[in-house]
A and B are shown apart, each in its own frame.
Chain A
């Protein structure tokens, strides 16, 4: 029924993932911007793999390259000034970077969908919610107007918008921020994408709404089995949702591991800084919120040695002169710190709070492990 107007006969997502391939594999991706001020190394060697049903948390400060990495994967970076300097992105074994713009248009929204940070401006003000929700389905599936509207109502209902038959006819400005983000999620999920990239989906929302939106994305994931890439600057947001976490700093992943590894066995001082920056409900004078001092470095003139060394309280001469490589801490857990394997250094300096939590959360963890 919905094959009549489809532009591409072969839908990648309907085919099984080839043997030995992952749903998404990012391999040493490098995206530099060539500007008047010099070369901005916005993405400098990012690698990860993602499989169906998994959630990857990408954490880092503003300007650490989280968004640019994923806009590059989507092919949404203007080139020039951007240029891919190396690496590859494979979706079900096919290189996204080698695809034509037309092929990418079929991938976008249909196979890989994206949710943007600000729901207040991500909806076109001149169209009704229903029309915008339906656009993707009409584009990728050749739905008629009526079919798209019907499905839009179902989607609105699914993401918890009350009275969807009426609201589908409303304009975006008649929706609140949280409801608009629900609409954005519905829009992203309209074509059952394989991968949902959520770029700070909760940053622009009220704290009370944040949890709901995250919960909604999880529910949808359970239902559809899609993978999620959750980009955020708040380690707390991905704490409970992510299977894997990639911590990025200055365009470079500095630590990568499972959520538990990052939270309880992290070995990079930047990760510690992020953990210490999570507000704790039992915060007292004895356990104050500790910010990471200073600002991220300019991506044009990166400091020599470890990019984090100017802000790192434990930096040594070695850190300032020699750039650390990936040091494997566990089978799938690496850290880009010279001292990642130095047990004394880690135990002495790692945030105490995260070390005490496993006991409390042991039960929850076991349950989660059993599920996986």
Chain B
């Protein structure tokens, strides 16, 4: 009992309480030696214990690595995702999955796996960039609304309400109709139209955190507004944002697929998963792999982001540390 030796020098009036505390303190001391002492380090430990989240991370990792390295090995083995060789197109059209073409080929004789792999680049890019745009906008708007309150809060939150009152996909389609289809515009449309929900989540997170006594305590200690936002409010609400943004990546991928399916998003011959499903839909009865393969890609990737988001939500909850 290390505690007993220090207590005499500490506070002589403490014998009773320390007796009660010592078991807890000892447990905490053991804990102290085994765990890294940062919020993210602890969160990572807890995340690793969540099997589903680990599966999500692994799958996202595989998708990212494959997408990033595709140029190095895909053209040599699976061919080009967009160009068609008119000479061999006829005999290569809509082949069933085989060792040569694991996912089969499409109407124009292109390898489906190759297109799914290149499609992942578009999906990931849209997911991450659109989420980045909407998160940034949402954070700024949410912070303005929550911290300054009053008229700012009213204007921003009513604006968010108006945005949320429109059916999301229709709104995106309408915006794309104005600014035109194409991959950059998909980023912009999904990104810009996604801010209201993030702003709402962040605003309520700030409002909750702002009411905490430790914010008052920090003010009473002489901390400035900027310091309070950066050191006390942001770290306590960042967990919510990280979780929300992670899940938002999944839904941005879905939205992009839907838009491309409808012909409003990425344009052919670019290999978007949505376009591939659209192309394959005609042959669902006879050559189902044309639709199933990109569909599976969407399903697994979106699911992986959702699982990771769920895991992060649990992992970032500081109070669950000892669970």
Does B77 sit at the interface, judged by CB under 8 A? Answer: no
CB contact under 8 A between A169 and B32, given known A105-B223, A122-B214, A215-B13: yes
For the complex, give the distance between the alpha carbons of A135 and B7 in Å: 26
* Residue of chain A at shortest CB distance from B320: A173
Residues of B within 8 A of A122 (CB): 213-214, 216-217
Contact for B28 among A105, A125, A167, CB less than 8 A:
A167
Report A133 CB to chain B, min CB distance, Å: 10
B267 at the interface (CB under 8 A from A): no
Does A176 sit at the interface, judged by CB under 8 A? yes
Q: B17 near A208 (CB under 8 angstroms)?
A: yes
B321/A162 in contact, CB under 8 A:
no
Looking at A102, A116, A162, A169, the one whose CB has the most chain B CB atoms below 10 A away is A162
Contact A118 B21 (CB under 8 A): no
- Complex interface: chain B residues within 8 A of A319 (CB): none
A121 and B214 contact, CB distance less than 8 A: yes
Residues of A within 8 A of B29 (CB): 163, 166
**Is residue A321 contacting chain B, with contact meaning CB distance below 8 A?**
no
Using Cβ atoms and an 8 Å threshold, which residues of chain B touch A109?
A: 220-223
A76 within 8 A of B: yes
Is A360 in contact with chain B by the CB < 8 A criterion? no
B24: interface (CB < 8 Å): yes
In the complex, which residues 1-22 of chain B have their Cβ closer than 8 Å to any Cβ of chain A? 2-3, 6-7, 9-11, 13-14, 16-18, 21-22
B224 interfacial contact with A, CB 8 Å: yes
Contact partners of A125 in chain B: CB under 8 A: 214, 236, 318-319
A113 to chain B, nearest CB (A): 7
Question: Which residue of A116, A162, A179 contacts B213 across the interface (Cβ within 8 Å)?
Answer: A116
Q: Is A171 an interface residue (CB 8 A)?
A: yes
Residues of chain A within 8 A (CB-CB) of B231 are 135
CA gap between A126 and B219 in the complex, in Å: 17
A122 to B211, CA, bound (A): 11
- Known: A123-B214, A212-B17. Is A167-B236 also a contact (CB below 8 A)? no
* A128 contacts the other chain (CB 8 A): yes
Report yes or no: B222 in contact with A136, Cβ–Cβ below 8 A.
Answer: yes
Closest B residue to A176 by beta carbon equals: B21
Kindly list chain A residues whose C-beta atoms are within 8 Å of the C-beta of B318: 125-126, 171, 173
Q: Are B224 and A160 touching (Cβ within 8 A)?
A: no
In the bound complex, do residue A178 and residue B221 qualify as a contact, i.e. CB atoms below 8 Å apart?
no
Cα A103 to Cα B218 in complex, Å, equals 16
Q: Which of B222, B227, B235 has the most CB of A within 10 A?
A: B222
- Indicate the size class of the contact surface on chain A: 35 or more
A206 nearest in chain B by CB position:
B17
Which residue of B has the minimal Cβ distance to A169? Answer: B37
**Per-residue 0/1 for B212-250: is the Cβ within 8 Å of any A Cβ (1 yes, 0 no)?**
111011111111100100011001100000000000000
Residues of chain A within 8 A of B25, CB atoms compared: 162-163, 167
Give the shortest distance, in Å, between A114 (CB) and chain B (any CB): 4
Q: Are A173 and B24 in contact (CB under 8 A)?
A: no
Are the CB atoms of A212 and B220 closer together than 8 Å? Answer: no
Closest CB of chain A to B96's CB: distance in Å?
A: 55
Q: Is A235 positioned at the interface, with any CB of B under 8 Å from its CB? A: no
Q: Does A216 interact with chain B (Cβ within 8 Å)?
A: yes
Q: How far is the CB of A287 from chain B (nearest CB, A)?
A: 29
> Looking at the complex, which one of A124, A169, A179, A216 makes contact with B21 (CB distance below 8 Å)?
A179
- Interface membership of B39, Cβ < 8 A: yes
Taking CB atoms, residues of chain A closer than 8 Å to B7 are 160, 162
**With A160-B14, A170-B32 as given contacts, are A128 and B37 in contact (CB-CB < 8 Å)?**
yes
Taking a contact as CB atoms under 8 Å apart, the answer to whether B2 and A74 are in contact is: no
Cβ distance B268 to chain A, nearest Cβ, rounded Å: 48
Q: How distant is the Cα of A176 from the Cα of B18 in the complex, in angstroms? A: 11
Give the CA-CA distance A113 to B14 in the complex, in Å: 25
Question: Which chain A residues lie closer than 8 Å to B37 at the CB level?
Answer: 128, 169
Which residues from 290 to 323 on chain B have a C-beta closer than 8 Å to any C-beta of chain A?
A: 318-319, 321
Whether the Cβ atoms of A176 and B24 lie closer than 8 Å is yes
- Min CB–CB distance A102 → chain B (angstroms): 8
For residue B31, which residues in chain A have a CB less than 8 angstroms away from its CB? 174
Within the assembled complex, what's the spacing in Å between the Cα atoms of A125 and B310?
Answer: 21
A159 interfacial by beta-carbon distance below 8 Å: yes
CB within 8 Å of B: which of A76-124?
Answer: 76, 102, 104-110, 113-114, 116-118, 121-124
B3–A162 touching, CB < 8 Å: yes
Q: Which A residue sits closest to B16, measured CB to CB?
A: A208
B223 pairs with A166, CB closer than 8 A: no
Does A312 make an interface contact (CB < 8 A)? Answer: no
Query: Is residue A157 within 8 Å, beta carbon to beta carbon, of the partner chain?
Result: yes
CA distance A161 to B14 in the complex (A): 9
Which A residues are in CB contact (< 8 Å) with B13? 160, 212, 215
Residues of B within 8 A of A74 (CB): 220
Q: How far is the CA of A135 from the CA of B223 in the complex (A)?
A: 9
List the B residue with the shortest CB-CB distance to A170.
B28
CB-CB under 8 A from A102, the residues of chain B are: 224
Q: Is the CB of A157 within 8 A of B223?
A: no
Asked if A209 is at the interface (CB within 8 A of a chain B CB), the reply is: yes
Question: Does A187 touch B at the CB level, under 8 Å?
Answer: yes
Q: How far is the CA of A208 from the CA of B219 in the complex (A)?
A: 30
In the bound assembly, the distance between CA atoms of A106 and B223 in angstroms comes to 9
The chain A residue with its CB closest to the CB of B225 is A101
Q: Is A268 among interface residues, defined by CB-CB distance under 8 A?
A: no
Q: Interface residues, chain A, CB within 8 Å of chain B?
A: 74, 76, 102, 104-110, 113-114, 116-118, 121-128, 135-136, 139-140, 157, 159-164, 166-167, 169-171, 173-174, 176, 178-179, 184, 187, 208-209, 212, 215-216
The list of the 4 closest CB pairs from A to B, nearest first, reads: A160-B11, A109-B221, A109-B222, A108-B222
Q: List 13 A-B contacts (CB under 8 A).
A: A76-B216, A109-B220, A125-B318, A135-B218, A139-B221, A157-B10, A162-B18, A162-B25, A163-B6, A163-B29, A166-B29, A167-B28, A174-B28
14 A-B pairs besides A140-B222, A170-B28 with CB distance below 8 A are A102-B224, A109-B221, A109-B222, A113-B220, A117-B213, A121-B212, A122-B213, A124-B218, A136-B221, A139-B227, A157-B10, A160-B10, A163-B2, A187-B217
